[in-house]
Structure 1
């Protein structure tokens, strides 16, 4: 067995992190979903101020994406992004044990579900693309609760015990997990079985086939897998956004992504990636405080990128 596929041996710190997380989740279940979400937001605010974890990264990226904002507005938006991330993290943590009825009840509005039904009716499988906006993990749970046969492509985690726990949680909710290193092999099988395959497609990774497309005016390295599979298997592509509303419940947005064939396969792939990236950007502009600005989205860029379009 190669090093890449050999099981990872958990360390003491891995076990400590895992059992600490499980204990915290058990405690959060006692206070209920709404209170746990509020607590997650309050605690995450501390990461912004006074702790300042990644504060510079977040503020620079927000300022670059929204250059018309004043410094005070940037700081306010940054603080709210930490709060949103904290709420998303806690809401995801307490998903295990949540009933199907409870998951459905936490959505107050769905726009475009007819596109899901139309895609499933084709019998060719469905490619779902989303980004780190709102609560993407809850989005998977919602689709599964609606009876959509769903596989999610997920990246490996540093802690193998915690990864197993998260994947077990996803499966309990109704999602099957495809590790990103297995996506090339397993996604075709899922599409042939008329399953939906979900990709969180706004973070690049070394070794992952990607293309550079504009994101808030700057070149951003973006995975091209969803576009490749769509063209290869003639599968429809849907963009999904699951965003928190003032009530604390969610709105689910579903939009079809145009898949056009011009005879130039590489250009067609880039065009699809650009389309769903633009759709994500539009939703971020509507809900900027719910995006994961803590990730360095423009870290990798083409070597000929002009300095003023480089990483903020």
Structure 2
């Protein structure tokens, strides 16, 4: 994964602003869900026309993830991705008054989430991780959310407020390493941590193969699981055509703390996310150039 920021990063784009989500939070509950989703899609399509950098980044990422797409396929899939993201934002904003239904995809998924004890749940920029957070609150109880800080301070405050309202403890991903002792203690008490792991931060990285290409995931989730003696569990909450969401839960991995064990656990998560993306190709929300361009 490239360390450099894109020329016009999504985090600095005009749609990723706290005031805009606050406005949406106030207005979205006043209209039916399908109307809110349609309005969000229209805004996303207009942005796609006037924000070519994000559209090109999406298409480039998707071309790497799906190399067999025909000419023009990545561009078409990029538009579908923006529409899917917009529908997810509408559901997120309406969630306090109309929470989406989340359904575990298999008895194994239900059983894995219901197991007693702490867990390090790793997810990716797939599907709707905010809706997923509400599902996890009901499934595993109190937990930490470790995510990537927003470039807009107002947006960061907005998302933090929403997460805290659901009972989550929020910690920026770049603070994970220095917060390991506190996180370890909470996991040993039986709480869980949810970490967006598909983007590396500085030295907090481990190489994986994702969709057949080299990438870097955060290393700290596997180290945290090893320190606390809890499993690393990949999860994803994905939108379905009927408006519900499906919770996918991968096989738990135990990390021994050595480099080989850490890499194996993270590679297992990368394989899980790659399979989820195969099923939901328009729900991968990395809006900047993702694939690394060198060693």
Shared fold, TM over 0.5: yes
Moved over 6 A (4+): none
Unaligned residue ranges in structure 1 (runs of 5+): 1-16, 303-312
Are 1:184 and 2:177 counterparts? no
Count, aligned residues: 275
Distance 1:208 1:28, change over 3 A: farther
Partner of 1:271: 264
CA contact (8 A) 2:208 2:216 kept: yes
Larger radius of gyration: 1
Distance 1:285 1:190, change over 3 A: same
User: How big is the shift at 1:47?
Assistant: 2.5
Alignment partner for residue 144 of structure 2, among 145, 151, 156?
Answer: 151
1 or 2 for the larger relative contact order (CA 8 Å, sep ≥6)?
Answer: 2
Q: Determine the C-alpha separation between the residues in 2 that align with 1:126 and 1:53.
A: 38
Partner of 1:213: 208
Are 1:126 and 2:119 counterparts? yes
Partner of 1:3: none
* Cα offsets for 1:202-235 (capped at 9, x unmatched): 1122x34101111122211210111111122210
* TM, length-normalised to structure 2: 0.85
CA contact (8 A) 1:85 1:292 kept: yes
Partner of 2:24: 24
Partner of 2:111: 114
Partner of 1:140: 133
CA contact (8 A) 1:133 1:241 kept: yes
CA contact (8 A) 1:257 1:275 kept: no
1:193-232 matched pairs, under 5 angstroms: 193-205=189-201, 207-232=202-227
**Root-mean-square deviation (CA), in Å?**
2.3
Unaligned residue ranges in structure 2 (runs of 5+): 1-16
Q: Secondary structure at the match of 1:191?
A: helix
User: How big is the shift at 1:37?
Assistant: 2.4
Partner of 1:55: 55
